[in-house]
C-alpha cells in the first residue's frame, strides 16, 4: 500500500470529500460547491470537495448563504464548517469569523494502510475490548467519551450515534472496559464504494492513558476493516493520538480545523 502523502491526499479528496462525509444526515442540500448537511439533534455541517477557485467575495457570500440556510431551521442549534489546510480558500477564515464561527483545535488528517495497525497489542491486566450494539451500551459509551474529552454528557451525541448505527449496520462501536467501567472507546466507519474505513471518536479517560489501550482499540478496528475489504484507514487526529497512528504507519496528509457556530 502506497504511503506517499500526495497519493493518499488524492484518495482523501477524491473518495472521502463526497457524500461519504454525511452518511447519517437527515438532509443534504447543495449551494454551489458546498454540501449543507443536517444531522439528528439539530447539528448542521458544511463541507465540499474544493471551492473551485472562488475569490474572497464569493467565498464570503457562500458563508452567509450557508448560515442563513441553517438559521432558517429552528431545530438547528449549532453548525460545523469543516476546513482543510491544503484548500485554496481566499478569505474563508475572515468570513467565518465575521459570521460568528469560532475556530476549534487544528487536527491532523491521518491516512495509511490498515495492515500496519492490525497487530496484536497486549492489554493491561483487567482491561478487555468488545463491540457494543445495544442502546444502553451505546449511551454508556457516548457518556464515557464525553467525560474523556472533558465535555458535559450529551444525550444529543448519543442519539446521533444510535441513529447512524441504525442506518449503517457496517459501522462498529468498540469499547475498552476495566472493572465494569468504559475507559476508552472508538468507532469504525467503512466508506461504501471506496477502499477506506474511518477510525473515529478515539477517547480514553485520563487515568488510563499511556498504557496501550487506545492502540489496542485501534488495532481491533483495523482488523475489522481488513475483514470488510477496506485496506486504507483514515482519521482526524489530535496531538495525543497522532503519534500512535504514525508509529503504525499512517501519515499526515493535511490538517483540518472545525469552525463552530452556535445559535
Segment 48-63, tens digit of pLDDT: 999 999 999 999 999 9
Residue 179 is predicted with a pLDDT of 92
Contacts of residues 214-218 at CB distance under 8 Å and 24 or more positions apart, as own/partner, are: 214/184, 214/186, 214/241, 214/244, 215/121, 215/244, 215/248, 216/121, 216/122, 216/123, 216/129, 216/176, 217/129, 217/174, 217/176, 217/184, 217/185, 217/186, 218/117, 218/186, 218/244, 218/245, 218/248
| Number of C-beta neighbours around residue 4 at 10 A | 10
Whether the CB-CB separation of 195 and 106 falls below 8 Å is answered with no
Question: How much is the average pLDDT of 14-22?
Answer: 91
Q: Is the pLDDT of residue 108 over 90?
A: yes
Of the listed ranges 28-32, 64-68, 72-76, 151-155, the one predicted with least confidence? 151-155
Phi, psi of 111, deg, nearest 5: -145, 155
How large is the average pLDDT for residues 103-113?
Answer: 96
Domain 112-255 classified CATH 2.120.10.30?
no
The percent of residues in the chain predicted with pLDDT above 90, rounded, is 80
Least confident of 8-17, 140-149, 158-167, 225-234: 158-167
Cα distances (Å, whole numbers) of residue 140 to 20, 80, 85, 210, 256? 27, 25, 34, 23, 28
94 neighbors 103 (Cβ within 8 angstroms): no
Q: Are 115 and 231 contacting, i.e. CB atoms less than 8 angstroms apart?
A: yes
Average pLDDT over residues 119-129: 94
Specify the pLDDT at position 61.
98
Least confident of 57-61, 83-87, 247-251: 247-251
Q: Is the pLDDT of residue 87 over 80?
A: yes
**Torsion angle defined by CA atoms of residues 241, 244, 250 and 252, in that order, rounded to the nearest 10 degrees:** 40
Average pLDDT, the chain: 94
What value does the mean pLDDT take over residues 186-208? 93
Domains in the chain: boundaries: 18-107, 112-255
pLDDT surpassing 60 at residue 23: yes
Is the pLDDT reported for residue 1 higher than 80? no
Model confidence band, residue 169 (pLDDT cutoffs 50, 70, 90):
confident
Give the pLDDT of residue 245.
Answer: 86
Amino acid at each position: 500500500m502506497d504511503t506517499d502523502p500526495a497519493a493518499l491526499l488524492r484518495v482523501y479528496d477524491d473518495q472521502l470529500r463526497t457524500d461519504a462525509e454525511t452518511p447519517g444526515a437527515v438532509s443534504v442540500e447543495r449551494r454551489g460547491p458546498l454540501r449543507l448537511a443536517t444531522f439528528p439533534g439539530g447539528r448542521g455541517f458544511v463541507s465540499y470537495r474544493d471551492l473551485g477557485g472562488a475569490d474572497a467575495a464569493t467565498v464570503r457570500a457562500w458563508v452567509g448563504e450557508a448560515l442563513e440556510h441553517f438559521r432558517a431551521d429552528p431545530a438547528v442549534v449549532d453548525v460545523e464548517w469543516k476546513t482543510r489546510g491544503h484548500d485554496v480558500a481566499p478569505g474563508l477564515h475572515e468570513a467565518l469569523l465575521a459570521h460568528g464561527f469560532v475556530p476549534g483545535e487544528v487536527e491532523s488528517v491521518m491516512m495509511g494502510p490498515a495492515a500496519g495497525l492490525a497487530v496484536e497489542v497486549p492489554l493491561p491486566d483487567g482491561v478487555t475490548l468488545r463491540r457494543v450494539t445495544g442502546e444502553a451500551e451505546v449511551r454508556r459509551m457516548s457518556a464515557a467519551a464525553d467525560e474523556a474529552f472533558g465535555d458535559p454528557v450529551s444525550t444529543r451525541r448519543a442519539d446521533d450515534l444510535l441513529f447512524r448505527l441504525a442506518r449503517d449496520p457496517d459501522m462498529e462501536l468498540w469499547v475498552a472496559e476495566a472493572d465494569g467501567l468504559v475507559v476508552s472507546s472508538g468507532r469504525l466507519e467503512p466508506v461504501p464504494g471506496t477502499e477506506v474505513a474511518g477510525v473515529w471518536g478515539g477517547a480514553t479517560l485520563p487515568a488510563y492513558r499511556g498504557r496501550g489501550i487506545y492502540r489496542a482499540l485501534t488495532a481491533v478496528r483495523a482488523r475489522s476493516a481488513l475483514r470488510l475489504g477496506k485496506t486504507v484507514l483514515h482519521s482526524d487526529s489530535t496531538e495525543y493520538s497522532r503519534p500512535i497512528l504514525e508509529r503504525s504507519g499512517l501519515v499526515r496528509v493535511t490538517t483540518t480545523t472545525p469552525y463552530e457556530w452556535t445559535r
